[in-house]
Structure 1
Amino acid sequence: MIIIDQEHVLDAPQIEMLLDTTFGLGRKSKSSYSLRENIDPIHDLSFVLRSNNVVLGTIRFWPAVIHDVLGGSDQQTLFLGPLAIHPDVQGTGYGKMLVDAALAKVDELSFSRVMLVGCTKYYGKFGFRSVKPKYISLPGNRDAERLLVRENGSVRSLPSLGRLIASDGLHGNCMDGRMSDNEQPLYVG
């Protein structure tokens, strides 16, 4: 049986092996990883795809800030990634199911903006679009061409010139709906 479940602490070694298998050992040199360095993912938004206690997929969200270079203000955002599905089950629709379930929780918790580095062809079906014509840079000024955003509700527009930076956490009332440790899996199939 395949389930989508909240990530547990004991999943960490399997997740790291899955990420190495999916993205290779050089994955931590990507600009997106500098947004995750020394910061924990948001527990309530970290999910796994599992079968018989084996992790076959993972999706995580991280706190981040968009700094308006011209105006000097900061806007909170979620940073999605990585999404990884074990090569043995890629192409089966499990990645889509994992993203759908995670974004449903994002919406339930009333987050208004999610950003990621990825391909519009894949993530566009989930409501993501390019940040262009705005210019938002990532650490190291890499991957800006692949930076995507998903916004809903009345969110302040992206700055014309901005920088996506790591955050030490989310502030305000955006995490009032925490999941309990005994909550049922999001999907069973």
Structure 2
Amino acid sequence: MSIIIRTEINSDYTQVHNVNFVAFGNREDEAKLVERIRETENFISQLSIVAEEHGEIVGHLLMSKAEIINGEKRHEVFVLAPIAVKPNNQKQGIGKQLIYEGLNRCKQLGHFIVLLIGHPSYYPKFGFKPAREYGLELIQFEVPDEVFMVCELNEGILNTIKGELKYPSAFFG
């Protein structure tokens, strides 16, 4: 199996839509979320990453800008959402490759905090930990503590940043 992990290009958009559609049970929500994020200033093209096999897009990961707000202080962070792998290609390590690539690219861009809402037994293997334990809060979505997670890409940075994660308006379209 030869999977190529690369940055999404415009001609991938239709296939990326399809990957998100089928990966999330033939529903449009995540595919439409990707499209809305692409239209905003929170979109960073290097953080829209695809997995390609034999010329076909089989996976997609998107990280985009968000903010942690604490009074007057604002810190730019990234949120991981969505990540999708076609059902027939799941359980082959494609999601893992996409996540590691995304986290590495965040570091290269000089950003060291990534947050997500995700499965509590999957994401810890990538360094994600319950975010509320670090003084981070999420009010926009009501989620259990164990699914609201943060990954610190520069050790100690979470000691200096506390506050509420604010997802951009694209997440509420």
- Fold shared by both chains (TM-score > 0.5): yes
- Matched residue SS, 1:43: strand
Match of 1:149 in 2: 150
Query: How far has the Cα of 1:80 moved from its partner?
Result: 0.9
Query: How far has the Cα of 1:144 moved from its partner?
Result: 5.6
- Structure 2 length as normaliser, TM-score? 0.80
Query: Once superposed, what is the RMSD of the aligned Cα atoms?
Result: 2.7
Match of 1:131 in 2: 131
How many residues are matched?
161
* Larger relative contact order (CA 8 Å, sep ≥ 6): 1
Residues 137, 144 of structure 1: 8 Å contact kept: no
Structure 1 vs Structure 2: percent identity of aligned residues?
24
Match of 1:177 in 2: none
Match of 1:87 in 2: 87
Q: Which runs of no fewer than 5 residues in structure 2 stay unpaired?
A: none
Query: How far has the Cα of 1:152 moved from its partner?
Result: 3.0
- 1:99-110 equivalences under 5 Å are 99-110=99-110
- 1:1-189 equivalences under 5 Å are 1-23=2-24, 24-25=26-27, 27-28=29-30, 36=37, 38-39=39-40, 41-68=43-70, 71-133=71-133, 134=135, 136-139=137-140, 141-143=141-143, 145=145, 146-153=147-154, 154-155=156-157, 156-159=160-163, 162-166=164-168
Residues 4, 50 of structure 1: 8 Å contact kept: yes
Post-superposition Cα deviations, 1:70-127, rounded to whole Å, max 9, x if no partner, equal x232111011121111100101111111111221222222211111110231111111
Query: How far has the Cα of 1:132 moved from its partner?
Result: 1.8
Residues 65, 167 of structure 1: 8 Å contact kept: no
- Structure 1 length as normaliser, TM-score? 0.74
Greater share of strand: 2
Taking the aligned partners of 1:118 and 1:97, their CA distance within structure 2 comes to 17
